[in-house]
Amino acid sequence: MSAVCGGAARTLRTPGRHGYAAEFSPYLPGRLACATAQHYGIAGCGTLLILDPDEAGLRLFRSFDWNDGLFDVTWSENNEHVLITCSGDGSLQLWDTAKAAGPLQVYKEHTQEYVQGSYVVK
């Protein structure tokens, strides 16, 4: 994955992870959040990467693992450390980059799915 910071392309290799969404922080110049998944999102885990620019490219500030692929990420409009991601398991995760562990909270509301004329409770 690469990002353009200050006019120069910056690169960080993430073996085994494929980026699905990236968003620059509206608060901290150059800070980038990237939602990733293993195996192109078909199977495996996901990782939220928080990246900062440095002289050599991009530096990993913090990473958070999740048990399913992460497919989107956005920064909070109210707090410079908070992000939310969505994953292949249908849940939303609330993360705080000021803390090394996470997520702060998980929202999973889809407990029923409609399948061919009947509800299947999961």
pLDDT, mean of residues 75-91 = 94
Q: For residue 100, give both structure tokens.
A: 């090394």
Are 48 and 66 in contact, with CB atoms under 8 Å apart? Answer: yes
Out of 55-59, 70-74, 104-108, least confident range: 55-59
Q: Is 41 helix (H, G, I), strand (E, B) or coil?
A: helix
Task: Quote the pTM value.
Answer: 0.79
How does the average pLDDT of the chain come out, rounded? 84
Q: Which domains does the chain have, with CATH numbers?
A: 17-107 (2.40.10)
For 8, residues 6+ apart whose C-beta sits below 8 A from its C-beta are none
pLDDT score of 120 more than 70: no
Are 52 and 67 in contact, with CB atoms under 8 Å apart? Answer: no
C-alpha span between 56 and 47 (Å, rounded):
22
